[in-house]
Amino acid sequence: MSKTIAVIGLSWGDEGKGKFVDFLAQKADIVVRYNGGNNAGHTIEANGVKYKFKLMPSGAPLEKEGVIANGCVVDPKVLLEEIKNLKNLNKKINLKLSSTAHVIFPFHRILDGLEEKTKGSYAAGTTKRGIGPTYSDKAARWGIRVFDLINPDLLKLKLEKLFKIKKELINIYDPNWDTDLDTIYEEYKSYGEQLKPYVIDTAYYLNNAVDSGTKILFEAAQGSLLGLDHGFYPYGTSSNANALGICAGTGIPPKKIGKIIGIVKAYTSRVGEGNFPTELFNETAHKIREQGHEYGTVTGRPRRVGWLDLFNIKYGIMVNGVDKIVLTLLDALHGINPIKICTGYELDGEILESWPIQSEIIENCKPIYKTFEGWDEKTREQWMEIAEIGYKALPEAMKVYIQTIKEILKTEIAMVSIGPDRKETIVLENVSF
């Protein structure tokens, strides 16, 4: 069996993937991003330093080798900024960038905003980072890839063609929009020169690494429910933000993907639009948002919050083939009493067996809740002390919450998290490569 572990968010993103990629990276050799782009925001806290990454794989604070594989879309400016920031922190950059990842251009970002306006009530509330339009160009087979970016002649040839059509398209929405092709070309040529030292054929590289027993972590961006094929379409992103995306996004065949760890937040959050049946709007929502610092890393938007939805999580366990789960942000629920969990749904008097998929029907589904006693508020220092002692020191009501989740999901809980720092982690079952 290959020595690979995938870390996947089982909800709508921001489950704490970054923290656990960093945690597991302590024993890994390579960390691989395989989907999405700088729509992601992954936060890591370790040794008193807070890192926020949009593109860099989350092994960077530990100076682990990072791979941005072919399934990603890359805004070169953002990547170069992250490299610079890490260098300023005296971190060694150990990065490999796929020659076949697609490149985000300014016109993609503009189109992202214009398309959203046109979609009206079907808009997902995107991060406006050009993710959808760049993946659209990839699927239409006229996208510009990293290989083109680092070859100025190819870049010029392809950019001229793409720019012409994009300009005409943008002008349909906004007749006054104008920009200069040469400026974009010169800017991107310079990005290509700077990124060239990192560019390789990552599929070949990673397959060799897997075959020689290298310990590899796959870091999903976004969450399973935002996934293009198995998420809440159209209110999601444009990549397969789940374990299914690993193979196409890296070139590693399915039989070489090892363990799958699903990250689950103790409640639910969502940024952007779309169904959220367990959403809360009252004081409780406000308290959870503040205690969990639920504001988007990328856009700063307040995240929508609601009760944990185990019907959703079961769906995530199914499509990802999750082996074990990690429960995060349990501390952020302190002082909330009672706490609820959605265990299923009712539609027209019938109990649902699986999601009806169409957002218009999900709208009419009524959550069925199980109610729990909450636990008292504690200071950060107290949570730190509890983490040091371990599981037995957790509040009794939290233990009931954790054990009930495990029973309902019929899935082992590998770790629980009671604070953002690497140390604020309690291991219940070792996850080994």
CB of 232 to Mg ion, least distance (A): 17
Region from 221-229, 253-261, 318-326, 402-410 binding ligand IMO, contact rule CB under 6 A? 221-229
Binding mask 25-44 for Mg ion (x = CB under 5 A): ----------------x---
Annotate 103-155 with DSSP letters as a single string. E--HHHHHHHHHHHHHHGGG-----SSSHHHHHHHHHHT-PPBHHHHTSHHHH
**Quick one: 148 or 331, whose CB is closer to ligand GDP?**
331
Task: Look at residue 411 and give the partner it binds from Mg ion, ligand IMO, ligand GDP, none, a contact being a CB closer than 5 to 8 Å depending on partner kind.
Answer: none
Nearest in space to 134 (alpha carbons), one of 173, 175, 106, 98: 106
d(CA 168, CA 159): 14
Task: Look at residue 418 and give the partner it binds from Mg ion, ligand GDP, ligand IMO, none, a contact being a CB closer than 5 to 8 Å depending on partner kind.
Answer: ligand GDP
Task: Assess whether 14 carries a catalytic annotation.
Answer: yes
How far are the Cα atoms of 23, 267, 279, 298, 332 from residue 426, in angstroms, in the given order? 11, 18, 28, 28, 15
* Backbone φ and ψ of 238, nearest 5°: -110, 15
What the block records as the tokens of 145 is: 């890839």
Task: Assess whether 286 carries a catalytic annotation.
Answer: no
Identify the residue among 66, 71, 132, 316 touching ligand IMO (CB under 6 A): 132
Which one from 14, 22, 148, 309 is the annotated catalytic residue? 14
Interaxial angle between packed helices 181-195 and 152-173, expressed in degrees from 0 to 180 and rounded to the nearest 10 = 140
At residue 262, what is the residue type?
A: G
Task: Look at residue 419 and give the partner it binds from ligand IMO, ligand GDP, Mg ion, none, a contact being a CB closer than 5 to 8 Å depending on partner kind.
Answer: ligand GDP
Task: Look at residue 45 and give the partner it binds from Mg ion, ligand IMO, ligand GDP, none, a contact being a CB closer than 5 to 8 Å depending on partner kind.
Answer: ligand GDP
Which one from 22, 42, 230, 334 is the annotated catalytic residue? 42
Task: Look at residue 39 and give the partner it binds from Mg ion, ligand IMO, ligand GDP, none, a contact being a CB closer than 5 to 8 Å depending on partner kind.
Answer: ligand IMO
Residues lying near ligand GDP in the complex (CB under 6 A): 9, 13-19, 41-43, 45, 293, 297, 328-329, 331-332, 417-420
At residue 281, what is the residue type?
A: F
Identify the residue among 29, 106, 113, 125 touching ligand IMO (CB under 6 A): 125
How far are the Cα atoms of 27, 267, 401 from residue 287, in angstroms, in the given order? 36, 12, 19
d(CA 237, CA 224): 10
Query: Which contiguous run of DSSP H or E holds residue 336?
Result: none
What is the footprint of ligand IMO within residues 250-279 (CB under 6 A)? 271-273
Strand-pair category, 49-53 with 42-46: antiparallel
Tokens 């169409």 identify what position?
Answer: 358
CB of 192 to Mg ion, least distance (A): 28
CA angle (144 as vertex; 138, 146 as ends), nearest 5? 110
**Quick one: 225 or 387, whose CB is closer to ligand IMO?**
225
CB of 336 to ligand IMO, least distance (A): 22
CB of 124 to ligand GDP, least distance (A): 17
- DSSP state, residue 36: B
d(CA 129, CA 134): 10
Number of other residues whose CB lies within 10 A of the CB of residue 396:
9
**Quick one: 3 or 112, whose CB is closer to ligand IMO?**
112
**Quick one: 261 or 365, whose CB is closer to Mg ion?**
261
Q: Residue 13 interacts with ligand IMO (CB under 6 A)?
A: yes
Region from 235-243, 308-316, 318-326, 403-411 binding ligand IMO, contact rule CB under 6 A? 235-243
Q: Which residues contact 404 (CB under 8 A, 6 or more apart)?
A: 341, 370, 372
Catalytic sites, residue numbers: 14, 42
